[in-house]
């Protein structure tokens, strides 16, 4: 007989989103369980390439309550260190995370409040009944590969999430499709391993890594761009090319070409032997340059307006000449003739909530939600791109979104508790939390640490 237990909130996924959610639920005294099918921060461990470091410096890419004590604040730390950070964090806050447990389905209960989640740990199955469910399974769930070349073509094909290091690929040259943060770093690594790399470049933004003594993440902050609630018109799919590799540097496609990489336009089709590329390479590079220069302009303006004493950097505006591969681009590439034996698809991810049976998805399977609150009462999302702002799918941003979602859960809980104390217990305290503004339960309220979550964690860490 499979076991069934009950909790107030079930959090599915134990990445940064699940850990942040747990912190905010605990701070509000809300009983919950976090189920993670792998280990804490599993994707940082096993779905990223070996040499990946954070795209943001660790003074920024962290939760408020814990620093990367062993790193300089301006460092970009290896992915394993990020995973360790979240594991340490979960331990510090005593997060009730159960690892190795995959949620296979969540369905509404019939005629009763809440949801039932079925799970398996590989050997046993079980279920959990919860009043609310938070889907914290990430923004980068399933590899998205455009259907351009058949899977059984005579070339090795992997997605960037499966790429680990150059040795993994068969000998020969490589086509990397997609020049976002992942594509450019993987292409650079492969080129330096001695292969000829072709990099297919689509539309992109490429902000400066640092300008006038401040990192890009700082500029995004002071210019109010992290906090923007919606992407710029038509730009929600424009990839942002930033890198923390080699200590952090501005990505300039001229430098990649100078290292030997052949840049090509957006990959459009395959004819059985050759890949074909759009004639958009120069346009894409020019738009990326324009984006780069617009950030410098905005930064200069900000410095001027606020009278800041930050060193001038006129050389940042000097863009070199366009390389031959941009001025005279390839329109097609015969893979065999070019010795291309592998294609790395750095083409992004799609969502997959196949396990969540709730009335809150559009026809493309995208969650219908506002700041994580879905159309199905009791179902919440966390970690989605632009969930509340540009920061939502990033480490620091998800922490703030989790706080909001936790508040919404408590408010909903208190509506559901309305009058239940009067009906169930004559001795119920009149202060019991039945107002949307109050904590989840009187017991929770009396045991909750009054300090903020971040302060609480600092106290725990100091012990
Ligand atoms: C290459 C790359 C580099 C990035 N670099 C940075 C960076 O430097 N800084 C930054 O702030 N952000 C970065 N991000 C963005 C973001 O921070 C990460 O993608 C992060 O992993 C998202 O965390 P999450 O908790 O929302 O989702 P995930 O890390 O994807 O966590 C979701 C968890 O849910 C689990 N899960 C999924 N389905 C189930 C199920 N059915 N049952 C149980 N468990 C399940 C998964 O195993 C996973 O551990 C990067 C993203 C990518 C792709």
Each residue of 26-38: pLDDT tens digit?
A: 999 999 999 999 9
Q: How far apart are CA 296 and CA 302, in angstroms?
A: 10
- Label residue 461 by pLDDT band (50, 70, 90): very low
**Domain end residue (candidates: 348, 375, 409):** 348
- Label residue 235 by pLDDT band (50, 70, 90): low
The reply to whether 107 falls in a domain is yes
Q: Which atom of ligand 1 is nearest to the CA of 53?
A: 8
* Contact partners, residue 46, CB within 8 Å, separation at least 6: 38
Q: How far apart are CA 170 and CA 29, in angstroms?
A: 53
Based on the fold, state whether residues 293 and 414 are members of the same structural domain: no
- Label residue 462 by pLDDT band (50, 70, 90): very low
pLDDT tens-place string over residues 289-329: 999 999 999 999 999 999 999 999 999 999 999 999 999 99
Based on the fold, state whether residues 390 and 264 are members of the same structural domain: no
The rounded Å distance from CA 151 to ligand 1 centre is: 26
Based on the fold, state whether residues 264 and 154 are members of the same structural domain: yes
Q: Which atom of ligand 1 is nearest to the CA of 102?
A: 42
Based on the fold, state whether residues 121 and 158 are members of the same structural domain: no
Arithmetic mean of pLDDT, 404-425? 85
Based on the fold, state whether residues 131 and 151 are members of the same structural domain: no
Q: Which residue's alpha carbon is at the smallest distance from atom 12 of ligand 1? A: 394
Q: How far apart are CA 135 and CA 116, in angstroms?
A: 14
**Domain end residue (candidates: 348, 370, 395):** 348
The reply to whether 160 falls in a domain is yes
Q: How far apart are CA 105 and CA 133, in angstroms?
A: 11
DSSP state of 261: P
**Residue among 394, 400, 401 whose CB has most ligand 1 atoms within 8 A, to mutate:** 394
Q: Which residue's alpha carbon is at the smallest distance from atom 27 of ligand 1? A: 138
Q: Which atom of ligand 1 is nearest to the CA of 394?
A: 11
Q: What is the pLDDT of residue 428?
A: 42
Based on the fold, state whether residues 188 and 324 are members of the same structural domain: yes
Q: Which atom of ligand 1 is nearest to the CA of 40?
A: 49
Arithmetic mean of pLDDT, 164-184? 97
- Domain range enclosing 269: 146-348
Q: Which residue's alpha carbon is at the smallest distance from atom 35 of ligand 1? A: 13
- Label residue 185 by pLDDT band (50, 70, 90): very high
Based on the fold, state whether residues 240 and 329 are members of the same structural domain: yes
294 within 8 A of 287, measured Cβ to Cβ? no
Arithmetic mean of pLDDT, 14-29? 98
Q: Is the pTM of this model over 0.85?
A: yes
Q: How far apart are CA 405 and CA 412, in angstroms?
A: 11
- Label residue 453 by pLDDT band (50, 70, 90): very low
The rounded Å distance from CA 16 to ligand 1 centre is: 7
The rounded Å distance from CA 149 to ligand 1 centre is: 28
**Residue among 42, 77, 186 whose CB has most ligand 1 atoms within 8 A, to mutate:** 42
Q: What is the pLDDT of residue 459?
A: 36
Task: Sort strands 373-374 and 369-370 into parallel, antiparallel or unpaired.
Answer: antiparallel
Strand ordering across the sheet containing 173-177: 156-159, 340-345, 173-177, 197-200, 262-264
pLDDT tens-place string over residues 245-267: 999 999 999 999 999 999 999 99
The rounded Å distance from CA 139 to ligand 1 centre is: 7
Q: Which residue's alpha carbon is at the smallest distance from atom 37 of ligand 1? A: 137
Based on the fold, state whether residues 238 and 205 are members of the same structural domain: yes
**For all residues of the chain together, what is the average pLDDT?**
91
The reply to whether 205 falls in a domain is yes
The reply to whether 82 falls in a domain is yes
Domains in the chain: how many in total? Answer: 2
Q: Which atom of ligand 1 is nearest to the CA of 18?
A: 25
pLDDT tens-place string over residues 354-374: 999 999 999 999 999 999 999
Arithmetic mean of pLDDT, 93-105? 98
Query: Between the CA of residue 251 and those of 74, 206, 383, what are the distances in Å?
Result: 18, 7, 26
Is residue 445 pLDDT above 60, yes or no?
Answer: no
- Of the chain, the percentage scoring pLDDT greater than 90 comes to 85
**Domain end residue (candidates: 348, 380, 411):** 348
274 within 8 A of 332, measured Cβ to Cβ? yes
Based on the fold, state whether residues 258 and 128 are members of the same structural domain: no
Q: Which atom of ligand 1 is nearest to the CA of 35?
A: 43
Supply 363's token pair.
Answer: 């026809």
Q: Which atom of ligand 1 is nearest to the CA of 182?
A: 1
The reply to whether 463 falls in a domain is no
**Residue among 37, 181, 344 whose CB has most ligand 1 atoms within 8 A, to mutate:** 37
**Residue among 10, 11, 13, 186 whose CB has most ligand 1 atoms within 8 A, to mutate:** 13
- Label residue 438 by pLDDT band (50, 70, 90): low
The rounded Å distance from CA 241 to ligand 1 centre is: 18
HEC readout, 102-138: EEEEEEECCCCCCEEEEEECCCCEEEEEEEEEEECCC
**Residue among 10, 86, 100, 140 whose CB has most ligand 1 atoms within 8 A, to mutate:** 140
Question: Which residues have C-beta atoms less than 6 Å from ligand 1?
Answer: 12-18, 35-38, 42-44, 48, 54-56, 61, 102-103, 136-140, 182, 355, 383, 393-395, 398
The reply to whether 461 falls in a domain is no
Please report, for the domain that includes residue 429, its CATH number: 3.50.50.60
* Contact partners, residue 255, CB within 8 Å, separation at least 6: none
Based on the fold, state whether residues 166 and 121 are members of the same structural domain: no
Nearest to 11, CA basis, from 445, 417, 452, 379: 379
Arithmetic mean of pLDDT, 117-121? 97
The reply to whether 462 falls in a domain is no
Q: Which residue has the higher pLDDT, 456 or 413?
A: 413
Torsion, Cα of 165, 168, 173, 177 (10° steps): -60
The reply to whether 425 falls in a domain is yes
Nearest to 24, CA basis, from 405, 392, 455, 372: 405
Q: What is the pLDDT of residue 456?
A: 38
pLDDT tens-place string over residues 120-145: 999 999 999 999 999 999 999 999 99
Based on the fold, state whether residues 255 and 363 are members of the same structural domain: no
Question: How many other C-beta atoms can be found within 10 angstroms of the C-beta atom of residue 447?
Answer: 10
Q: What is the pLDDT of residue 434?
A: 52
Q: How far apart are CA 10 and CA 215, in angstroms?
A: 37
The rounded Å distance from CA 15 to ligand 1 centre is: 6
Based on the fold, state whether residues 186 and 113 are members of the same structural domain: no
pLDDT tens-place string over residues 192-232: 999 999 999 999 999 999 999 999 999 999 999 999 888 87
């Amino acid at each position: 007989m499979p076991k069934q237990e009950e909790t107030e909130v079930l959090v599915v996924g134990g990445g940064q989103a699940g850990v942040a959610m747990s912190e905010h639920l605990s701070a509000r005294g809300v009983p919950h369980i976090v189920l993670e099918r792998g280990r804490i921060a599993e994707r940082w461990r096993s779905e990223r390439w070996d040499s990946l470091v954070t795209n943001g410096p660790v003074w920024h890419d962290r939760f408020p309550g814990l620093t990367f004590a062993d790193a300089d604040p301006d460092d970009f730390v290896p992915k394993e260190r990020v995973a360790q950070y979240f594991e340490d964090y979960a331990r510090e806050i005593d997060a009730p995370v159960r690892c190795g447990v995959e949620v296979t389905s969540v369905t509404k209960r019939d005629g009763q409040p809440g949801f039932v989640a079925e799970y398996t740990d590989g050997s046993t199955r079980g279920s959990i009944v919860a009043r609310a469910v938070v889907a914290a399974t990430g923004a980068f769930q399933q590899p998205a590969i455009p259907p351009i070349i058949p899977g059984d073509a005579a070339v090795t094909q992997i997605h960037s999430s499966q790429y680990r290091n150059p040795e993994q690929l068969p000998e020969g040259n490589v086509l990397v499709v997609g020049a976002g943060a992942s594509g450019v770093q993987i292409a650079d690594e492969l080129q330096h391993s001695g292969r000829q790399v072709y990099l297919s470049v689509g539309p992109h933004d490429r902000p400066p890594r640092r300008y006038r003594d401040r990192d890009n993440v700082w500029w995004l902050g002071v210019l109010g761009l992290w906090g923007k609630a919606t992407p710029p018109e038509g730009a929600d799919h424009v990839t942002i090319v930033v890198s923390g590799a080699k200590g952090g540097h501005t990505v300039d496609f001229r430098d990649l070409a100078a290292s030997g990489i052949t840049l090509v336009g957006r990959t459009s089709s395959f004819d059985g032997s050759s890949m074909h590329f759009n004639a958009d390479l120069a346009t894409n590079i020019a738009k990326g340059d324009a984006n780069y220069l617009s950030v410098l302009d905005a930064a200069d303006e900000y410095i001027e307006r606020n009278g800041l004493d930050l060193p001038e950097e006129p050389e940042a505006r000097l863009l070199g000449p366009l390389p031959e591969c941009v001025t005279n681009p390839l329109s097609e590439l015969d893979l065999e003739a070019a010795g291309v034996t592998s294609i790395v698809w750095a083409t992004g991810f799609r969502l997959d909530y196949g396990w969540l049976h709730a009335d809150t998805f559009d026809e493309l399977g995208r969650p219908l939600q506002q700041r994580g609150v879905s159309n199905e009462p009791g179902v919440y999302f966390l970690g989605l791109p632009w969930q509340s702002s540009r920061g939502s799918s990033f480490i620091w941003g998800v922490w703030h979104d989790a706080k909001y979602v936790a508040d919404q859960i408590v408010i909903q809980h208190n509506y559901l508790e309305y009058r239940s104390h009067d009906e169930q217990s004559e001795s119920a305290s009149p202060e019991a939390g039945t107002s949307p503004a109050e904590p989840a339960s009187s017991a929770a309220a009396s045991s909750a640490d009054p300090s903020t979550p971040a302060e609480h964690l600092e106290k725990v860490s100091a012990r």
